[in-house]
Amino acid sequence: MTQCRSFLCCYFTAPPCVERTCIMSKGTVVLAYSGGLDTSCILVWLKEQGYNVIAYLANIGQDEDFEAARKKAESLGAKKVFIEDLRSQFVEDFIWPAVQANAVYEDRYPLGTAVARPCIAHRQVEIARREGAQFVSHGATGKGNDQIRFELTCYALYPEVKIIAPWRIPEFYNRFRGRTDLMEYAQSHAPADLYLMTKNPEDSPNEPDVLEIEFKNGVPVRVTNVKESTSKDTPLDIFSYLNEIGGKHGVGRIDIVENRFIGMKSRGIYETPGGTVLLKAHLDIETFTMDKEVRRIKQGLGIRFSELVYNGFWDSPECDFVRHCIAKSQENVEGKVQLSVFKGQVYILGRESSKSLYNEELVSMDVQGDYDPCDASGFIRINAVRLREHHRLQGFSGTKK
């Protein structure tokens, strides 16, 4: 970060700022500020353009020195700095609906970043309205998904807002040769191991953690470490603990090529330890307690939900409708799942539920129960009618040709 600060000072603090104070203000902008290189450059550039800048930092659980970021924003000229603790809201209002949906984009990406963006933008809009700001700004690039996620949320909740996206403004990105200057700095200072939350599975403990996760209405209400006899029972504590355990065992790492909404493929490296543990557990208890045909419909809704969230449509009417439908499907998804977390993997050990649809006597090969095996003959013949007709007609058509 020393070079980062030197770069900013060399680039922005000379000549002195006396003349800048005479520029008529263009208005107030709320900048989604991270304290990193991109948004620090943007903050100073916005001031150069004549805006009063309010820096807004969202705490959604990242490892960040927020007070240091506050001081940095103030030193760069932010008029005000808001540091908002959104961790509980993020878990309850955004992560839990994603858990209920078994949300995974293109079969692999658990949507951690995508779900975070509307949560951050919601509070950004609240601050902009409260402070009378006409503008909001962000550090998302002009080729990525985040610009869409931030801006669709802002327009949905604050229709008259104006958005300043510096990485789409030539006067900004040409000044930094696109993003080359910043990327060269990042590459020269990045650690060899890009993962921050998770250990390399090879270096993880040689003993598993055995957990029991209790669900109600499709969301976790308690997690217990069986060996340590420790429990967590608030949403934030549950998710934080699962992140800790999953991270310790190297769970949730993926390196993928994904299809961006904007129309290009990109490589993404993600780590979602707690989310991955919850996905495995929720899938298990859901299958145990949900009717087959309801789950078939719900699976389709989950795919649609994942696409909508990935593409930035959290606040669209269709996403609201899908969330309500998924929540309805979760009314009987309750019970406990026992699992083992070990060396990058999650292993399901068992489950129990008072709402279970599993009838051991009905499926047993040793007990006939209320099922008459003779009925299967008619069931099979009825289902064979369509297949017989298809192949009979196909065969007839082929012979005729």
Model confidence at 399, in pLDDT bands (50, 70, 90)?
low
| DSSP classification of residue 358 | -
| DSSP classification of residue 166 | G
Q: How high does pLDDT run on average in the chain?
A: 89
Quick one: pLDDT at residue 135?
A: 98
Q: 339 pairs with which residues across the strands?
A: 211, 348
Quick one: pLDDT at residue 14?
A: 31
Q: What is the mean pLDDT of residues 205-210?
A: 97
Other CB atoms within 10 Å distance of the CB of residue 77: 17
Helix (H, G, I), strand (E, B) or coil at 296: helix
Backbone angles phi, psi at 339, to 5 degrees: -150, 160
Helix (H, G, I), strand (E, B) or coil at 67: helix
Quick one: pLDDT at residue 7?
A: 26
Helix (H, G, I), strand (E, B) or coil at 334: coil
Q: In angstroms, rounded to a whole number, what is the distance separating the alpha carbons of residues 81 and 239?
A: 28
Quick one: pLDDT at residue 370?
A: 76
Q: In angstroms, rounded to a whole number, what is the distance separating the alpha carbons of residues 357 and 46?
A: 59
The pLDDT tens digits of the residues spanning 259-307 come to 999 999 999 999 999 999 999 999 999 999 999 999 999 999 999 999 9
Helix (H, G, I), strand (E, B) or coil at 50: coil
Model confidence at 194, in pLDDT bands (50, 70, 90)?
confident
Tokens of residue 242, six digits:
């699962």
Q: In angstroms, rounded to a whole number, what is the distance separating the alpha carbons of residues 31 and 304?
A: 31
Quick one: pLDDT at residue 177?
A: 63
Quick one: pLDDT at residue 187?
A: 53
The pLDDT tens digits of the residues spanning 343-394 come to 999 999 999 999 999 987 777 666 666 788 899 999 999 999 999 999 999 8
Quick one: pLDDT at residue 277?
A: 98
Q: In angstroms, rounded to a whole number, what is the distance separating the alpha carbons of residues 278 and 280?
A: 5
Model confidence at 178, in pLDDT bands (50, 70, 90)?
low
Q: In angstroms, rounded to a whole number, what is the distance separating the alpha carbons of residues 400 and 2?
A: 80
Answer for the pair 357, 291: CB distance below 8 angstroms, yes or no.
Answer: yes
Q: Which residue has the tokens 């309801």?
A: 294
Q: 338 pairs with which residues across the strands?
A: 212, 350
The pLDDT tens digits of the residues spanning 114-155 come to 999 999 999 999 999 999 999 999 999 999 999 999 999 999
Model confidence at 173, in pLDDT bands (50, 70, 90)?
confident
Model confidence at 83, in pLDDT bands (50, 70, 90)?
very high
**Nearest alpha-carbon partner for 341 in 262, 268, 260, 274:** 274
Q: In angstroms, rounded to a whole number, what is the distance separating the alpha carbons of residues 152 and 28?
A: 20
Q: In angstroms, rounded to a whole number, what is the distance separating the alpha carbons of residues 33 and 97?
A: 26
The amino acid sitting at 77 is: G
The pLDDT tens digits of the residues spanning 6-55 come to 222 332 333 333 344 455 789 999 999 999 888 999 999 999 999 999 99
Quick one: pLDDT at residue 373?
A: 86
Answer for the pair 125, 158: CB distance below 8 angstroms, yes or no.
Answer: yes
Tokens of residue 161, six digits:
């807002």
Using a pLDDT cut of 70, give the percent of the chain over it: 87
Q: At what angle do helices 37-48 and 2-12 cross, to 10 degrees?
A: 20
